[in-house]
């Protein structure tokens, strides 16, 4: 009986969840997790995701079009209703992310990356929070951050590999960390909670090369992690479920690190 009381926190029936970037590696796993908890899930992405479930809706949305974010979110809320949950797992990258390193980055690309990634994440969260307040919803927001939002990158990992350090990624993810705190402080009295997940590296394709992660890089990475491996999307989805459920009702403004211990040493 007692266990039921706690598990009931994860029952998201009658909750609307907007997932930005829902067609991606993390986003699609998060959508499956939300559907398992009976939420009604809306995925907003430039890429279509086919899921046959009456509780799932896909909607085209381009977060790089900053000037249209407010208009589009208003339109979506009028069409689908105001979300109880917003999860941003989008990864709006430059055309050539491989050139986003200290020796090749151009000012225009730097500006674009910050606009597309940092500004879109912040603006989507702010506009959605205002809509939640207007609709008297006790909202939950989770954004995808990275260990590189709190730490610098280790140059040694990239030596003699095709993978390079990123110039703007740590700036963007670092900005999101303090934005989370400021948002949590500002919207707390309206019962809106906002948290960020600082994820370590996950198994899958490299976002920079769009290929399988090079084994030299992978070995170096794994040996540096106390748990001796990369993470999986389901390990991220589990934490997101916790943060959007009532199980975390007293948690806000937090950086939730999921990295196998990478950042403790």
Ligand X SMILES: NC(=O)c1ccc[n+]([C@@H]2O[C@H](COP(=O)([O-])OP(=O)(O)OC[C@H]3O[C@@H](n4cnc5c(N)ncnc54)[C@H](O)[C@@H]3O)[C@@H](O)[C@H]2O)c1
Which residue ranges make up the site for ligand X (CB under 6 A)?
21, 23-27, 45-47, 61-64, 89-92, 144, 146, 199, 201-202, 204, 207
Taking residue 257's Cβ as centre, other Cβ atoms within 10 Å add up to 22
Q: In what order do the strands lie in the sheet with 16-20?
A: 56-60, 40-45, 16-20, 85-88, 140-146, 193-199, 255-258
Question: Smallest distance, Å, CB 90 to ligand X?
Answer: 4
| Chain residue whose CB lies nearest ligand X | 24
For ligand X, give the closer residue by CB, 46 or 138: 46
Question: Smallest distance, Å, CB 189 to ligand X?
Answer: 28
Question: Smallest distance, Å, CB 134 to ligand X?
Answer: 24
For ligand X, give the closer residue by CB, 118 or 131: 118
256 three-class SS: strand
Question: Smallest distance, Å, CB 132 to ligand X?
Answer: 21
Inter-residue long-range contacts of 72-76, CB under 8 Å, 24+ positions, other chains counted: 73/124, 73/127, 73/128, 73/131, 74/127, 74/131, 76/18, 76/42, 76/44
219 three-class SS: helix
For ligand X, give the closer residue by CB, 126 or 190: 126
Question: Smallest distance, Å, CB 209 to ligand X?
Answer: 13
Distance between CA atoms of residues 195 and 224, nearest Å: 26
For ligand X, give the closer residue by CB, 114 or 133: 114
Question: Smallest distance, Å, CB 256 to ligand X?
Answer: 12
CB 97 within 8 A of CB 164: no
Single out the residue of 54, 7, 47, 9 nearest to residue 28, CA to CA.
Answer: 47
For ligand X, give the closer residue by CB, 43 or 133: 43
**Is residue 64 classed exposed, middle or buried when 0-12, 13-18 and 19+ CB atoms within 10 A define those classes?**
middle
End-to-end CA distance of the chain: 41
Question: Smallest distance, Å, CB 190 to ligand X?
Answer: 26
236 three-class SS: helix
For ligand X, give the closer residue by CB, 138 or 210: 210
For ligand X, give the closer residue by CB, 55 or 59: 59
Distance between CA atoms of residues 94 and 148, nearest Å: 18
Single out the residue of 20, 194, 179, 162 nearest to residue 91, CA to CA.
Answer: 20
For ligand X, give the closer residue by CB, 12 or 208: 208
Question: Smallest distance, Å, CB 240 to ligand X?
Answer: 11
Sequence-distant (6+) residues with CB within 8 A of 224 are: 154, 157, 262
């Amino acid at each position: 009986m007692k266990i039921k009381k706690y598990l009931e926190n994860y029952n998201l029936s009658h909750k609307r969840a907007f997932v930005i970037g829902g067609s991606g590696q993390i986003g699609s796993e998060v959508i499956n997790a939300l559907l398992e908890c009976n939420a009604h899930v809306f995925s907003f992405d430039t890429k279509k995701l086919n899921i046959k479930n009456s509780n799932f809706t896909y909607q085209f949305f381009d977060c790089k079009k900053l000037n249209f974010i407010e208009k589009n979110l208003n339109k979506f809320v009028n069409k689908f209703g105001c979300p109880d949950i917003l999860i941003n797992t989008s990864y709006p990258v430059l055309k050539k992310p491989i050139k986003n390193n200290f020796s090749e980055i151009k000012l225009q690309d730097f500006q674009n990356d910050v606009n597309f990634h940092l500004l879109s994440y912040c603006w989507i969260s702010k506009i959605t929070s205002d809509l939640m307040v207007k609709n008297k919803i006790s909202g939950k927001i989770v954004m995808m951050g990275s260990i590189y939002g709190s730490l610098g990158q280790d140059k040694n990992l990239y030596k003699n590999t095709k993978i390079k350090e990123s110039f703007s990624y740590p700036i963007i993810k670092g900005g999101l960390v303090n934005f989370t705190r400021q948002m949590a402080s500002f919207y707390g009295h309206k019962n809106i909670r906002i948290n960020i997940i600082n994820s370590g590296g996950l198994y899958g394709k490299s976002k920079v090369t769009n290929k399988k992660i090079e084994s030299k890089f992978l070995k170096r990475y794994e040996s540096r992690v106390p748990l001796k491996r990369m993470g999986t999307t389901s390990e991220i989805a589990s934490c997101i479920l916790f943060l959007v459920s009532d199980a975390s009702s007293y948690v806000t403004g937090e950086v939730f690190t999921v990295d196998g211990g990478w950042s403790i040493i």
